[in-house]
Amino acid sequence: MAKRGADLLKTGRTIRGFTQDEVAQIYGISTKTYRNWESGKTAVSFDDLSALCDQVFKFPLAKLSEVASHAA
């Protein structure tokens, strides 16, 4: 899920027009952690991915997955 999670994070961030730094700050994690998740270097947990979708991107995970699959 590392690559899939990374794709979903990038899609959500792009939709909302946030920088990686902004997402990390809003979610309360280090920019390095977020960058590692988005690059696929480190796998993002399902719980963190769901929370980011709800709390930061304000976009349901299922809908974001659908949008990301169409963009690929």
Look up residue 66 and give its two tokens: 């659908």
Q: Is the pLDDT of residue 65 over 80?
A: yes
State how far the Cα of 9 lies from the Cα of 6, in Å rounded to an integer: 5
For 10-37, write each residue's pLDDT tens digit.
999 999 999 999 999 999 999 999 999 9
Q: Across all residues in the chain, what is the average pLDDT?
A: 91
Please report the pLDDT score of residue 71 as a whole number: 67
Cα-Cα-Cα-Cα dihedral sign, residues 13, 16, 18, 23:
negative
Contact 5, 43 (CB under 8 A): yes
Contact 56, 3 (CB under 8 A): no
For 35-44, write each residue's pLDDT tens digit.
999 999 999 9
